[in-house]
Structure 1
Amino acid sequence: MTVELCLSGKSTTEVAEELGLLPELESRWKREYQQKKQGNFSGQGKPALSAEQAEIARLKRQLREAEIERDMEPMLTT
C-alpha cells in the first residue's frame, strides 16, 4: 500500500514522513516492488507462497500441533 502511494505521484519522502517510516525503507520497498513485478512481496527476502504452498504450510502447522497434543496426553493423565 505504501509503495502504491509512491507510485501514485507522492514522493517517497512524503509517504515515509506521513506514515512515520524511514525514507530509506520506503525506497527499498519501492525498488523490491518494481523488481518483482507481481504487485505483492512478503519482505525479508521470503517469496510469497502460492495458495497450494500456503495450504501445505497450514496443514503442517496443524499436524505439528496435533502431534504435540498427542505427546502431551500421557503426561496429563498421570
Structure 2
Amino acid sequence: MSKIRKKFTKEERLEIVKQSFEPDHQVADLADRYGISANTLSRWRREFREEHGLQAQGQGIKIMSDEERKIASLERQLREMQLERDILKKAIGIFSKADKKSTNS
C-alpha cells in the first residue's frame, strides 16, 4: 500500500524551511517530525534560497573584495613560483650528479 502524502500549504512550507535554517535544527530531524523526506525539505530550502536570492552557506563561495582577490592571485602565483623553483633545484641536483660520475671515469 502506498503512503498517503500530506499536502503542505505555502505558509506551512515556509515555516518549516525557516525552522530548518535555525542552527539548532537538523534537516533530517525536521523531515521526520513533519513526515516528509529529507530530500523534499532540501528541495524546499533550495527553492526558498533561489526565490529570495540567497546563497547557500558552506559551499565554498566566498565574496571577496578587490584587495582580497589581488592577494589571493599573488599567493597563487607565489605557490606556482615556489613549485617551479623546487623542480629546478631537483633538476640541477640530478644533472650535477651525472656530471660528477662522468668526470671520475
- Which TM bucket (shorter chain)? 0.3 to 0.5
Normalising by structure 2, report the TM-score: 0.37
Structure number with greater CO (CA < 8 Å, separation at least 6) is: 1
Q: Which has the larger radius of gyration?
A: 2
Normalising by structure 1, report the TM-score: 0.47
